[in-house]
Structure 1
Amino acid sequence: MWGYLTLLPIFLALWAIAGVWIVFGIAVANRTVNLSQGFPYISICGSYPPQSCIFSQVLNMGAALAAWICIVRYHQLRDWGVGTCFNQLTLWSGLICALGTSIVGNFQEKNQKPTHLVGAFLAFIPGNIYFWLQFLQSWRMSSLRQPGEPWIRPLRLGLCGLCTLLIMAMIVLHFLQLRSAAAACEWALAMLLFMLFGLFTVDFSELDGCTLCLRPQPGLPALPGSPAPSQV
């Protein structure tokens, strides 16, 4: 039976994908975006109430789940023998992506555009870097037995490459004033990043849970009666 860690990435992907499209649907229904004038950016859809409240909640919860997944993945790779420096670099790029996602949700484009754009940069660029680093680590560990079918690695490579192309296309199209095309690239990019998070279900398929261990600072003795590590 799959543990909750196995289902967590799938839940994140479904939550985020469904959430942003619900925001889009509400924005179209209450006419805060007009499709006859062009296809909107995700941020435009989430800039006006009431959908801005849903937008913030979806991205805040998604950011929290993404951060938790990055931390679990860090410890999994550490147990597989991945070097600390490279593993920590990967972890921090993922956490920065989660932070950027939260900033995007809380600082709407119409209310605080500079901060919102910083959050979007942190969500998309380090997010793409995070999955490239994940692919490189899985490629370096190709001699080890890893969960999932052999096609998972080529799929990750294709999705990472497509994300990189979409980022470049989105930036170029935006500066060429082709906003609808740039917005379509942004939506596709967001969906692919959510799917890449969902693929961690394969990597977590052999995990039932994780254990939180509290250890005293080096050089200090453990207190008598300290509790054993707790299952969380």
Structure 2
Amino acid sequence: MFWFTQGLCSLPVFLVIWSSSTFIISYLIAIFRHDVDVLFPYISDTGANPPESCIFGLMTFISSGAGIATIYARYKFVEKLSEETRVVSPRLNKAALVLGVVSCLSMCIVATFQETTVTEVHDLGALLFFVSGVLYIVVQSVVSYHAYPYGSSAGVCRARLGIAVVAALAFFPTVVCAFFVHQTRLHRDREDQDYPFHVASAVCEWVVAFSFVCFFLTYIDDFKMFTLRVKTEFEELS
């Protein structure tokens, strides 16, 4: 049996590969078409113009669906673990589920409303995505420590905590510096007064985004331990 066929580990594997491909493919197309600068574009800049905007939108919706499925599977795994050990509070587990789903749905807002067309909605969706996403991995790091040693290993718990810290630290300059960026053009000049803020915000945005990807990468070993089944029950009609 191949390792990726064990349990549900293929779910986070697909999510990590697909999400990474979403960012990289749209970036490469945008660079090839000279729609963005080679260095330090925002992630949204790489999906602002067609055809990359079409590809970015489609792949983001698939990533969102895979993300929700992975987050729900993680929720059910922790729920089952807590039924037997009572190591994780159900409220904490549900809070993580809600935060994760909100983050995934916010991705769809970001992909649907491009920053060059509906800037306010796009920025709101991006802010909601990053806030809920960072909170999700922070809460899941706490859940992992509560579940130890029944869930993940100590090394995985430390890795998740480290990723959560990096994401949280990178989130603040992403948002703060973005407030000082006044230009919405896809091509930036080094002479622009807000160029340093743009660079700092864009770099930190990429760090936060790939922190999410790395965090889901740590789910692979956990997802080898369980499967989910759908149970069908007929209701008796009165």
TM-score when normalising by structure 2: 0.84
Moved more, 121-130 or 2-11: 2-11
Q: Counterpart in 1 of 2:151?
A: 146
Give the partner amino acid of 1:168. Answer: F
Match of 2:203 among 168, 171, 184: 184
CA shift, 1:181, in A, is 2.0
Match of 2:163 among 133, 136, 159: 159
Check whether the contact 1:20–1:58 (CA below 8 A) recurs between aligned residues.
Answer: no
Residues in 2 aligned to 1:200 and 1:107: alpha-carbon distance in whole angstroms: 30
Residues in 1 aligned to 2:209 and 2:91: alpha-carbon distance in whole angstroms: 28
CA shift, 1:4, in A, is 6.1
Give the partner amino acid of 1:15. Answer: W
CA shift, 1:156, in A, is 0.6
Check whether the contact 1:17–1:194 (CA below 8 A) recurs between aligned residues.
Answer: yes
Alignment gaps of 5+ in structure 1: 217-221, 225-232
CA shift, 1:16, in A, is 1.0
Give the partner amino acid of 1:223. Answer: E
Q: Counterpart in 1 of 2:85?
A: none
Give the partner amino acid of 1:77. Answer: V
Give the partner amino acid of 1:80. Answer: L
Check whether the contact 2:44–2:114 (CA below 8 A) recurs between aligned residues.
Answer: yes
Check whether the contact 1:10–1:199 (CA below 8 A) recurs between aligned residues.
Answer: no
Alignment gaps of 5+ in structure 2: 83-87, 181-193
Q: Secondary structure at the match of 1:151?
A: helix
Residues in 1 aligned to 2:232 and 2:100: alpha-carbon distance in whole angstroms: 24
Alignment of 1:38-117 (within 5 A): 39-81=40-82, 82-117=88-123
Q: Secondary structure at the match of 2:8?
A: helix
Residues in 2 aligned to 1:92 and 1:112: alpha-carbon distance in whole angstroms: 26
2:155 is aligned with 1:136 = no
TM-score when normalising by structure 1: 0.86
Percent identical across equivalent pairs?
28
Q: Which whole-Å deviations, capped at 9, do the CAs of 1:148-195 have from their partners, x for residues lacking one?
A: x42111111110000001001212332343102211111111111111
Residues in 2 aligned to 1:97 and 1:76: alpha-carbon distance in whole angstroms: 20
Alignment of 1:213-228 (within 5 A): 213-214=231-232, 222-223=235-236
Residues in 2 aligned to 1:169 and 1:16: alpha-carbon distance in whole angstroms: 23
Check whether the contact 1:169–1:185 (CA below 8 A) recurs between aligned residues.
Answer: yes
